[in-house]
Amino acid sequence: MTRHWIDRALPHHQETNVVFFRGQSLDALTRGLLGQKRLPLAYGKETGGWGLMMHDMFSWDGGDYHLTHYELLCPQGGELVVFVTEPCLGKAHGPWFEYYRDGKLTTAFSFEGPDDPVGAEPELLLPALTAARLAGPEEDFDGDDTEERIVAAVAGFFSLPELDLS
C-alpha cells in the first residue's frame, strides 16, 4: 500500500490538506470549506465509508493564513481524518495529523513527534504507532520512509482507502 502522497498530495499544488470524512455529505463539507474561504481542489468517491476532499490550506483572501477550523466542519456523528501535508513549506516542517469526532479534536500530532500527541484522546493512535515502531521503546525514525510509515499506520488504524492520484 503506497502512501507516497504525503510529500505532495497534488503534484501541481503546494500547501494542500487531505481530508478523509464520514458521517456527512461531500456537499456539506464543500459548503463548509467554502464558508471558510478554502478552495476545494479535488475529491474522491466514497470508499469503505470514507469520502475524500483535498483543499487549499489557506484562505483565498490574501493575508489570511489562519488554519482551517475543522471542528466547525465536523457535525455530531461525523469524523474527519486530516493530513496537513506541508504546514510550513518555507521552514521545512513535517506534516501534521488531526482526527476529529463529533466536532471535537480527538487526537493530533506533528509528524516530527508522533509520540507527543494532543487532544481529548491523545493516545488513541499509540498502539498503531508503536506497532509501526514510530513510538514506544523500539521507536525507529531513521530512513526516508518515516512520513509514509506514519500515514500507513494512521490509514490502517482508521481503515482509510488508498489515495489514488492517477
Cβ atoms within 10 Å, residue 53? 23
* Sheet arrangement for strand 79-84: 40-47, 50-56, 16-22, 79-84, 96-101, 104-110
Q: What does the pLDDT read at residue 130?
A: 93
pLDDT at res. 9: 62
Global pTM value: 0.89
pLDDT, residue 2, reads: 47
With a cut of 70, which residues of the chain have pLDDT below it? Answer: 1-14, 62-65, 87-93, 164-166
User: Which residue is it, cell 461531500?
Assistant: 26
Specify the pLDDT at position 22.
96
User: Looking at residue 135, what is its pLDDT?
Assistant: 87
The predicted pLDDT at position 1 comes to 44
Q: Which three cell numbers stand for residue 164?
A: 489514488
| pLDDT score at 5 | 61
Q: What is the pLDDT of residue 129?
A: 94
Give me the pLDDT at residue 56, please. Answer: 85
